[in-house]
Structure 1
Amino acid sequence: MSKDTLAQTIGHRILLRRKQLGYTQEQAAEKAGLSHQFFSTVETGRKNIRADSIIKVARALEVSTDYLLLGSVNQVDINNINESLSQLNGIELHCLEEIVKNYLKALEHNNTRRL
Structure 2
Amino acid sequence: MLNKENLSETIGHRIMIRRKQLGYTQEQAAEKSNLSHQFFSTVETGKKNLRAESIIKVSNALNVSTDYLLLGTTNKKDFDNISNIISELNGKELHCLEEIIKNYIIALGYK
TM-score of the aligned structures, taking structure 2 as reference length: 0.95
The superposition leaves residues 7-29 of structure 1 with CA deviations (integer Å, 9 ceiling, x where unpaired) of 00000000000111111101111
Q: Name the aligned partner's letter for residue 41 of structure 2.
A: S
* Cα distance in 2, alignment partners of residues 27 and 46 from structure 1: 20
Q: Aligned-residue CA RMSD in angstroms?
A: 1.3
Identify the residue that residue 37 of structure 1 maps to in structure 2: 38
Distance 2:39 2:106 in 1: 39
Correspondence for 2:49: 48
1:19-45 deviation line (CA, Å, top 9, x unaligned): 111111011111111111010000000
Whole-Å separation in 2 of the counterparts to 1:64 and 1:11: 14
Count residues with an aligned counterpart.
110
Match of 1:3 in 2: 4
Q: Deviation string for 1:43-83 (max 9, x for gaps)?
A: 00000111000000000111000000000000111111111
Among all aligned residue pairs of Structure 1 and Structure 2, give the percentage whose two residues are the same amino acid: 69
Q: What is the TM-score with the length of structure 1 in the denominator?
A: 0.92
Give 5+ residue unaligned stretches, structure 2: none
* Equivalent-residue separation in structure 2 for 1:56 and 1:5 (angstroms): 22
Q: Judging by fraction of residues, say which structure has more helix.
A: 1
